[in-house]
Amino acid sequence: MLSRFRGSMLGSLMGDCLGSPFEGEASIGKVFLNNYFSQLGDPKKRLPFKPYTDDTAMTKSVALSLTELKGFNGQDMAKRFTKEYFAEPKRGYGSAVHDVFMGLRNSNCEDPYRPAQRQFQGMGSYGNGAAMRVAPVALMNYNDEARAIDVATMQSKITHSHKLGCQGAVLQCLAVRAALHVQPNGLNIVKFTDDLISTMRNIEKKDADVVVEVEGGDSDAPWNTTSYARRLETVKKFLEQPEPPPNEEIHGLLGVHVSALRSVPTAIYCFLVSQNPIPGIECDNKLQRCIQFAISLGGDTDTIAAMAGAISGAYLGEDQVPKELLRHCEAVKDVLSWADKLHDASSTVQFSNEATSNSV
Ligand code: F2R
Ligand code: MG
Ligand code: MG
């Protein structure tokens, strides 16, 4: 399990560091990416170091808050997010989340959920910022699904209180947790997807009043608008095809956007599709293939690659993380120390009164 904890945290870091130079591009040619990754893998090449972004900065606060307090405490986590943000605000944070950190700082985090609730005229943010940092929650609570769901929800509410932001964090948490539990070489992609669909269906049933307004949403495709379970059905359909559909189809039906709804299912698809060779991607290592494919889709490349990398690394473990690529990433030693702390703390995790409601 320690190898899987380390694999997950390193997979997330690698996706963030290697994906961030492409964030916002429409899509990235597979041939170009083959060359890019082969240069990174060349031990003779001395290339510029790739810094991590907000995805890893926030993951750090989640990991250290959970491990130092041996469980979830919203106020402590909010203070860490805020301190980290004001120490290094230029890590590429989302544009609206700045106001949450201002509100938290001005109120000394008295109510750690209040500033996020006020976002977007009281709707809250549905960005993927709570999902991109949630892997430590899955690791810390790998033994307890209900608690993992609760903590994933509560940590989301500190910055992303919109139901789609919270549910996206829950889905990403469930995917990392499920990957930790699959036997080595034992992944059944249909069962993996079906289990996630079934859990998300139950969660969505409880939250039947989900707000449907999503900027740039797929208003012409009402069957696939605001349900994670339905997006996962699309993932399943894509996986039945002999090779991935064209990028335009993935963009249209899953998305590569900063919203959680249009990025978390995509990351899960990247993990699952990379279990087999992908035409155009020259790579035998499944974790690298996963990250390379995620980046090739364009859009929110750092975040989709980080989320896909966290799931893939949780399944494959540390041994499968390509070392020649890791040497280009910032803070590898720090990330390993967070993984080790999570592993130690996961056996002594305590219940918190704040995270026992099991509702999103
Ligand atoms: N911010 C970025 N990338 C922009 C470019 C950075 C650049 N490299 C640089 O700094 O030079 N990436 C990071 O942001 C994403 C995570 O964002 P998060 O934390 O969810 O932010 P936010 O602001 O809460 O939400 C993102 C945007 O989504 C829209 N939105 C959210 N909720 C909405 C609502 N209820 N109604 C309407 N719009 C809503 C807004 O446009 C938000 O700004 C990751 O990609 C991370 O890497
Ligand atoms: Mg980022
Ligand atoms: Mg991003």
In order of their start, the domains of the chain are 2-352 (1.10.4080.10)
CA of 54 to the centre of ligand 2 (A): 5
At CA 16, angle to CA 237 and CA 39, rounded to 5?
95
The conformational region for residue 329 under phi > 0 = left, psi -120 to 50 = alpha, else beta, is: beta
Ligand 1 atom index nearest CA of 302: 47
Q: Give 102-152 pLDDT, tens digit per residue.
A: 999 999 999 999 999 999 999 999 999 999 999 999 999 999 999 999 999
Nearest CA to ligand 1 atom 35: 125
How much distance in Å is there from the Cα of 347 to the middle of ligand 3?
32
Residue 188 has pLDDT above 80, yes or no: yes
Which one, of 22, 19, 9, lies nearest residue 52 by Cα? Answer: 19
HSE-CB of 167 using CA atoms within 13 angstroms: 28
Instruction: Determine which residue's CA is closest to atom 5 belonging to ligand 1.
Output: 92
Residue 350: predicted pLDDT: 59
CA distance 291 to 310: 10
CA distance 118 to 49: 38
Check whether 218 has a pLDDT greater than 50.
Answer: no
Residues 6 or more apart whose Cβ sits within 8 Å of residue 220 = none
The residues lining ligand 1, judged by C-beta closer than 6 Å to any ligand atom, are 23, 53-55, 92-97, 120, 123, 125-129, 132, 162, 215, 258-259, 300, 302-303
Its sign, for the CA torsion 301, 151, 360, 125, is negative
Q: What residue's CA is closest to ligand 1, atom 21?
A: 94
Residues in CB range of 309: below 8 A, 6 or more apart: 10, 11, 12, 13, 14, 15, 16, 287, 290, 291, 294
State the distance from the centre of ligand 1 to the C-alpha of 57, rounded, in angstroms. 15
What is the distance between the alpha carbons of residues 147 and 151, in angstroms, rounded to a whole number?
6
**Maximal CA-CA distance, the chain:** 56
Q: Which residue has the tokens 């279990």?
A: 275
CA-closest residue to ligand 1 atom 15: 94
Is residue 166 within 8 A of residue 130, CB to CB? The reply is yes
DSSP secondary structure code for residue 260 in this structure? S
Burial 79-116 (b: 16+ CB within 10 A, else e): bbbbebbeeeeebbbbebbeebbebbbeeebeebbbbb
How much distance in Å is there from the Cα of 129 to the middle of ligand 1?
7
Q: Angle of helix 301-316 relative to helix 264-273, nearest 10 degrees?
A: 50
Ligand 1 atom closest to Cα of 120? Answer: 35
Task: Please tell me the pTM assigned to this model.
Answer: 0.94
The first and second tokens of residue 209, run together, are 């009043």
Segment 227-267, tens digit of pLDDT: 999 999 999 999 999 999 999 999 999 999 999 999 999 99
- d(CA 95, ligand 1 centre) in Å: 5
287-312 burial by CB neighbour count: b if 16+ within 10 A, else e?
bbbbbbbbbbbbbbbbbbbbbbbbbb
In the three-class reduction of DSSP (H, G, I as helix; E, B as strand; rest coil), residue 43 is classed as coil
176, β-bridge pairs: none
Q: How far is the CA of 24 from the centre of ligand 1 (A)?
A: 11
pLDDT tens per residue, range 17-71: 999 999 999 989 999 999 999 999 998 888 888 999 999 999 999 999 999 999 9
Q: What pLDDT is stored for residue 322 in this prediction?
A: 97
Give the residue, by CA position, lying nearest to ligand 1 atom 19.
129
